Structure 1
Amino acid sequence: MSDTLFDYFTQVELPTPTLGADEVTRLFAQHFGLDVDLQPLGSQQDQNFRVFPRGESTPLGVLKLSNPAFSEAEIAMQDAAAAQVAERQPALRIPRLVAGSRGAMAAWWPSSEGRIHARVIENIAGSTLTGSTYLAPDIVARMGELSGRVSVALADFHDPAESRVLQWDLRHAERVIELLLPREPDADVRATIIAAREPALRVLAPLAEQLPVQAGHFDITDDNMLRPPGGRLPDAVIDFGDVAASWAVGELATTLSSVLHHDGASPATTLPAIRAFHALRPLGEHEADALWALVTLRGAVLVLSGREQVRLDSANEYASGALDREYRVLERAASVPPEVMAQVVRRALGLPVAAPGSGPDASPLPPFTSPTALDAGTVAPLNDEGAWMHAGTLDNAAFAAFDTGSDVAFLPPWRPILTGAPARTPSAPATIPTGVTLWLAEPTPVLGSVTRDGDALVVHGGGEALEFTAAGGLGPEPMLPARTRIQVTRRPEGAPAAPPLVEAAYADGWRAVVGDALEALGLAGHVADVAGEGDAGAHPDSAAMLARRERVLAEVQEHYYATPPQIERGWREYLVDVDGRVYLDMLNNVTSVGHAHPHVVEAAHRQMRLLNTNSRFHYAAIAEYAERIASLLPEHLDTVFFVNSGSEATDLAIRLAMAATGRRDIVAMREAYHGWTYASDAVSTSIADNPNALETRPDWVHTVDAANSYRGTHRGADAHRYAPEAVAVIDALADSGRPPAGFICEPYFGNAGGVPLPEGYLAQVYDAVRRHGGVVIADEVQVGYGRLGGWFWGHEQQGVVPDIVAVAKSVGSGHPVGAVITTRAIADQYRTGGYFFASTGGSPVSSVIGMAVLDVIENEGLQQNAWRVGQHLRRRLEALMEQHPIIGAVHGSGLYMGLELVRDRSTLEPATEETALICDRLRELGVIMQPTGDYQNVFKIKPPLCVTIESADYFADQVERVLATGW
């Protein structure tokens, strides 16, 4: 070991020490006076062991045998830096030197490989983020926070050894690449490195002298952060082996690079870490601009260094095992140009963003007299009735404009387009056009200084270029064809070439770099305002809209997801956000026959043009609809009340029971949810909806045990005991002089995630209630209307007939329609308490919508589809259950299913936190899913009844991916 500070460029080859375990244990006992057991740990250039006192399971610490190339001064500096971070950031767990009976466990060892420095550092309990599993946004943010905390702690750290020259010091990245690139034997790797290096160095060159320098850890990566045992977020930083002075922003660049190889990671997914770092240690504008160039160069150095180390030391499994993920780091870092990411970072941090240019002053096309701007965004009428799924929709719209006299139709850049977007994607698709799309009514010459670049015509001027390309190519003359898609992109000198479409996350960055071609074509003044956003930016500000919502809506009126997508369109089993991202809706039993079904829409539209009024007027639709609903039930259930929601339906059903019997006591099953009105809330005892539900019931509500055969009081074969116990409660009420007016429950345990009631349960309970003169209510709001597949109504699965049926949600497929169906005798008893009306319950529009929904269910065989697709999905999920212990059970029937997640299949400890995180990850993968059940640990699988096998497979595939790669 030299006393000279290490200089990588004088000693490129750094083989790791390779002492055998026997020699290490002998030297350890000799120098530190302790017999130990060893557990080898990986390292690229040092040799590490976790050490245990002989025969014990609690580690003494981590033995680090430093590479002989490093001086004693450098090793001492590492320990001093760790000590300062530990002192300045007491919330962080930082390893220090371990003291033994002979003092600090640090010494020079005369080994078989020469003199080597050994020291024992505290073993920090927990687990690293090593591997390439998924990192959630909060974990990524914590990584940036840890990096920022260490940077702040070391801001005033100085040491004579900090001037050491390491290959990981990003100030030397260009030299490292120049040194190692010729030694790389793989031509494809060399080409990838070169393609990534050049734009990064171009961005970095004018900034390098402006970047602040300080001492830093410079290896705060996923390998060197630890979560506490049982914890989720890392709180420890280890391995101070790369401490040196360098550009301060390199601390963050190193951390970001370690995010990029993880499942689903992209440059955009690192933004939470950048924001968290900036909140602690603000980045200057030069640092923000240089950051992504440094991340890219870090990726290049990782790839070349790792491959060099493996060629040098083929037995180093730590280095060889990292090669694939290091290559992913480089590929993903280079997937977005550094100048584009600089603008993305600036916007994320609230720093000034470059104003986009407009291109050459003079248009290279003759003036247009009647331009038509097309709108292909999420809410554009162009995309109605699923037209967004068809490739020819945009062309047809352009040609229609020609039929009305337009000489050019065009699609503006920088506005999201839904037309042509894919339906199921695990990452956000590219939906933002970077250039103008033109359709010309007649062939049109291109004016100005025109050159050829492959298949493109390029017009130069003012240090910029406009590039014209056409579907099918362009002829030899500078002439643009008619009735053909033509792409026009702007490219300032030195700017990267923009792809035709980019993801919304990068659109503002690209726009700031390449600008807008509209003005150069003379079309800027003809852009119609799209969705009220004008020309304010590449896409609507969903965060601002969410803030507006939260300012004016009551906090208790929650929304799905902490940071929800702004959904503005639905079609079949799909939901679409304002950026044109299409999500698979596996949750929405409200829109039972599918979003925006044309038959339902047309029925509503036609009736709105005719009449929509108070339901006490006389019109045909209400009678026709009531007849349709009553015909779906046994003959004696012949009388219908119309309301607006499931809450109102169950509320009215309870009032009917009270009026029919002259009593006020109601028996309800625990853990159920029936609504938010006074009466429906009174019988709702789900602690997920109200943690104090059982303690706050009025005295007229009496509950029986939740008949959940999976996690209830009686499980499996013992579930038959629920019914006799419920009967005993009913009998006891009657014996006490308070016989119940009625009993209410879902005939299929929906709130628990679709758990069937034990066989014969309702028959026994219904008999008991009726024996005492009460009536029975079936809450079919969630499980009725064909959703179970094998039965149209949930009560049919139990082989019983209720006295009152309450139904909503599905009956209007998103329109507020609810109904209560009962016997004429029970209905007539309600007259004793006055009269009933709901102004819009059963209104003309509601009635025709209700009938249209029934038409679709019948004509398109949606009940049969629910059975067929549900059975297929059940098989897929049960197969996953065999592979993943977190799946405790697959509940349900048809398209009312529940996937219950548990931490232990024996204790059934609910995996509540995991379920929420998995749902968040599924949203990132393009699937809408939410938890249900008292413990919020069950997937609420209730897609529109039109969902396809292909969509069910996509859902199962993404669940499988999450369970395999993390959440």
Structure 2
Amino acid sequence: MKTRSTIMDTNSFRAEHANALSPDIRALTDKRGQVLGGAYRLFYRTPVHLVKGKGQYLWDADGHQYLDVYNNVASIGHCHPAVIDAVCSQMGQLNTHTRYLHERILDYSDALLGTLPAEIDRAMYMCTGSEANDLAIRVARAHSGGTGIIVTKEAYHGTSDLTSGASPALGSGQPLAPTTRLVMPPDHYRVDAPDLGEWFAHEIQQQIDDMAAHGITFAGFLADSIFSSDGVLPYPRGFLQKAVEVVHANGGIFIADEVQPGFARTGESFWGFGRHGVVPDIVTTGKPMGNGIPVSGLLARHEVLASFSDQIPYFNTFGGNPVAMAAAQAVLNVIQQEGLQEHSLTVGTELLAALQTLQDKYDCVGDVRGAGLFIGFELVSDRASKTPDKTLALNLIEALREERVLTSVAGPYGNVLKLRPPLAFQADDIEWLVGALDRSLARLLA
């Protein structure tokens, strides 16, 4: 029996949708199944055939323009000319692995570490966020002497053996590691607690105690600081502080998975964890770092990293190659020179206010929450009981697709629209998005 993954299967094309497809789209989906196997997933009941991107916009094979409200891979915008120029220039000079000297990796490391708290002073590079989190778990275990990792109940941290074993969002078909423990997410909308930070710290302590009862030594807590797979949970600022104190008091380390909230996304700080006033022991990043070029990083306190790096050689053939570093440097330059952190905060605040007008208009919109250009739009069938409405959420993203707006869902119930556009998203785009949501809800609720 197949099991459903919230992150992979909730908004996905399935075989029962095939007969409704046009011949050209059906041919492409059939071909994917023949040559790529059954593990991959496409978005939407009618998959989108994209051929072009620029900034916050995408175009399909029929020339229709879409507003991208989901993509943090092209974090500063699709086909940004600064990244194209940097990659092409470096590709014309040299691209090889990191066992030769090259300035690119050193210059970028200086620039990237300069965005972090001073305590975080070492950098290592990979190609994907999965690899970065995999290495982070290895470092946590080397430093602590333990094996136990705590994550939230709907967390997603990667696809390697180690990270999939700590990614419950992949579904019950992917077993969790016996050394993984889950905590309830810090959901300000649903958890009735006078102090969410204290409540969350208690949840973590309980799982540390459970590990000890089963002979497992605690190694660390791995979390995305906006809890995006758990439904986008940004409030209140600072609630992570007590949890991190508990982690350290029990001999573990805090790994901040910044693949989604990092690189100016939340507006209030360059890194998502900055909103909580904490300094992680390890920071991991991935997709947004290279704007589509595969590059990821692990950034750490030197004393934590030394527990691993002084004992075990590490080599990643393509991690930190000159072309990847050129792309990453271009992304960082654009964020800083174009003021994209301030832009994310300003435009995100305006977008959040506009979306909250729909909460006033429609009872099915239970909560609208976010930080910068990272917003969760939660749908419920009953406001008083906060009953999740997954069916409406899935129908809504299909309706938005018809309005040429692309997004998807998140959260354990699949009822939260995750609105996370490229940072190129402008105030002028708000009307398109909010108008499409308004029209789509009106049609679906009629």
Please indicate, yes or no, whether the TM-score normalized by the shorter chain is above 0.5. Answer: yes
* Partner residue, 2:192: 715
Equivalent residue letter for 2:75: S
Question: Could you tell me whether the CA contact under 8 Å between 2:193 and 2:199 is conserved in 1?
Answer: no
* Partner residue, 1:792: 270
User: Are residues 1:630 and 2:107 paired?
Assistant: no
Question: Could you tell me whether the CA contact under 8 Å between 1:659 and 1:832 is conserved in 2?
Answer: no
Distance apart, 1:737 and its partner CA: 5.6
Secondary structure of residue in 2 paired with 1:638: strand
* Partner residue, 1:555: 38
Mapping for residues 423-438 of structure 1, pairs under 5 Å: none
Equivalent residue letter for 2:374: Y
* Partner residue, 1:132: none
Distance apart, 1:907 and its partner CA: 2.1
User: Are residues 1:899 and 2:382 paired?
Assistant: no
Distance apart, 1:797 and its partner CA: 0.8
Question: Could you tell me whether the CA contact under 8 Å between 1:727 and 1:764 is conserved in 2?
Answer: no
* Partner residue, 1:446: none
Does the C-alpha gap of structure 1 residues 771 and 571 become closer, same or farther in structure 2, counting only changes over 3 Å? same
- Give the unaligned 5+ runs of structure 1: 1-270, 276-347, 351-540
CA distance in 1, matches of 2:206, 2:28: 53
Question: Could you tell me whether the CA contact under 8 Å between 1:733 and 1:739 is conserved in 2?
Answer: yes
Equivalent residue letter for 2:181: H
CA distance in 1, matches of 2:178, 2:100: 39
Distance apart, 1:562 and its partner CA: 2.4
User: Are residues 1:859 and 2:337 paired?
Assistant: yes
Secondary structure of residue in 2 paired with 1:778: strand
Distance apart, 1:758 and its partner CA: 4.7
Secondary structure of residue in 1 paired with 2:51: strand
Does the C-alpha gap of structure 1 residues 738 and 576 become closer, same or farther in structure 2, counting only changes over 3 Å? same
Equivalent residue letter for 2:46: T
* Partner residue, 1:928: 406
RMSD over equivalenced CA pairs, Å: 2.1
Mapping for residues 605-644 of structure 1, pairs under 5 Å: 605-644=88-127
Question: Could you tell me whether the CA contact under 8 Å between 1:749 and 1:757 is conserved in 2?
Answer: no
1:690 paired residue among 171, 188, 195: 171
Distance apart, 1:784 and its partner CA: 0.9
CA distance in 2, matches of 1:875, 1:682: 38
User: Are residues 1:704 and 2:169 paired?
Assistant: no
| Cα shift readout 1:721-761 (whole Å, capped 9, x = no counterpart) | 22223234335545776441111111221113321255543
Question: Could you tell me whether the CA contact under 8 Å between 1:739 and 1:774 is conserved in 2?
Answer: no
* Partner residue, 1:657: 140
Distance apart, 1:949 and its partner CA: 0.8
Equivalent residue letter for 2:85: E
CA distance in 2, matches of 1:958, 1:716: 35
* Partner residue, 2:58: 575
Distance apart, 1:619 and its partner CA: 1.0
* Partner residue, 1:916: 394
| Cα shift readout 1:7-37 (whole Å, capped 9, x = no counterpart) | xxxxxxxxxxxxxxxxxxxxxxxxxxxxxxx
Secondary structure of residue in 1 paired with 2:73: coil
Higher relative contact order (CA 8 A, sep 6+): 2
Equivalent residue letter for 2:244: Y
Does the C-alpha gap of structure 1 residues 900 and 716 become closer, same or farther in structure 2, counting only changes over 3 Å? farther
Question: Could you tell me whether the CA contact under 8 Å between 2:153 and 2:230 is conserved in 1?
Answer: no
User: Are residues 1:874 and 2:356 paired?
Assistant: no
Equivalent residue letter for 2:138: R
CA distance in 2, matches of 1:783, 1:959: 24
Distance apart, 1:825 and its partner CA: 2.0
| Cα shift readout 1:99-126 (whole Å, capped 9, x = no counterpart) | xxxxxxxxxxxxxxxxxxxxxxxxxxxx
Equivalent residue letter for 2:297: A
1:678 paired residue among 161, 166, 170: 161
Mapping for residues 486-505 of structure 1, pairs under 5 Å: none
CA distance in 2, matches of 1:655, 1:932: 28
Question: Could you tell me whether the CA contact under 8 Å between 1:866 and 1:895 is conserved in 2?
Answer: yes
CA distance in 2, matches of 1:654, 1:618: 28
Question: Could you tell me whether the CA contact under 8 Å between 1:789 and 1:866 is conserved in 2?
Answer: yes
CA distance in 1, matches of 2:162, 2:34: 30
Secondary structure of residue in 1 paired with 2:382: coil
* Partner residue, 2:85: 602
| Cα shift readout 1:931-956 (whole Å, capped 9, x = no counterpart) | 11111111110100010111122100
User: Are residues 1:724 and 2:202 paired?
Assistant: yes
Aligned length: 426
* Partner residue, 1:947: 425
| Cα shift readout 1:778-826 (whole Å, capped 9, x = no counterpart) | 1111011110011111111111100000111111111111100002222
Equivalent residue letter for 1:715: D
The alignment's TM-score, normalised by the length of structure 1, stands at 0.43
CA distance in 1, matches of 2:237, 2:438: 32
CA distance in 1, matches of 2:35, 2:440: 36
Distance apart, 1:606 and its partner CA: 0.4
| Cα shift readout 1:589-616 (whole Å, capped 9, x = no counterpart) | 1111000000010000001101111122
Equivalent residue letter for 2:372: G
2:247 paired residue among 769, 780, 793: 769
* Partner residue, 1:756: 234
Equivalent residue letter for 1:892: G
CA distance in 2, matches of 1:853, 1:787: 13
Equivalent residue letter for 1:705: M
Secondary structure of residue in 1 paired with 2:37: coil
Mapping for residues 881-896 of structure 1, pairs under 5 Å: 881-896=359-374
Question: Could you tell me whether the CA contact under 8 Å between 2:166 and 2:180 is conserved in 1?
Answer: yes
Moved more, 945-954 or 744-753: 744-753
Secondary structure of residue in 2 paired with 1:596: coil
Secondary structure of residue in 1 paired with 2:132: helix
CA distance in 1, matches of 2:159, 2:292: 18
Question: Could you tell me whether the CA contact under 8 Å between 2:201 and 2:246 is conserved in 1?
Answer: no
CA distance in 1, matches of 2:376, 2:103: 40
Does the C-alpha gap of structure 1 residues 565 and 728 become closer, same or farther in structure 2, counting only changes over 3 Å? closer
Question: Could you tell me whether the CA contact under 8 Å between 1:731 and 1:768 is conserved in 2?
Answer: no
CA distance in 2, matches of 1:929, 1:831: 40
Question: Could you tell me whether the CA contact under 8 Å between 1:575 and 1:585 is conserved in 2?
Answer: yes
CA distance in 1, matches of 2:55, 2:429: 11
Mapping for residues 470-549 of structure 1, pairs under 5 Å: 541-549=24-32
1:957 paired residue among 432, 435, 446: 435
* Partner residue, 2:3: none
CA distance in 1, matches of 2:412, 2:98: 38
The alignment's TM-score, normalised by the length of structure 2, stands at 0.91
* Partner residue, 1:747: 225
Between structure 1 and structure 2, the one with the greater Rg is 1
Distance apart, 1:777 and its partner CA: 0.6
Equivalent residue letter for 1:699: P
CA distance in 2, matches of 1:834, 1:927: 47
CA distance in 2, matches of 1:631, 1:949: 30
Question: Could you tell me whether the CA contact under 8 Å between 1:586 and 1:928 is conserved in 2?
Answer: yes
CA distance in 2, matches of 1:586, 1:705: 27
CA distance in 2, matches of 1:907, 1:718: 21
Distance apart, 1:718 and its partner CA: 5.8
| Cα shift readout 1:859-902 (whole Å, capped 9, x = no counterpart) | 11111111111111111111011111111100211111110111
CA distance in 2, matches of 1:916, 1:800: 36
CA distance in 2, matches of 1:759, 1:726: 18
CA distance in 2, matches of 1:592, 1:827: 28
Question: Could you tell me whether the CA contact under 8 Å between 1:753 and 1:940 is conserved in 2?
Answer: yes
* Partner residue, 1:667: 150
2:72 paired residue among 578, 589, 596: 589
CA distance in 1, matches of 2:59, 2:202: 49
| Cα shift readout 1:408-440 (whole Å, capped 9, x = no counterpart) | xxxxxxxxxxxxxxxxxxxxxxxxxxxxxxxxx
Equivalent residue letter for 1:938: V
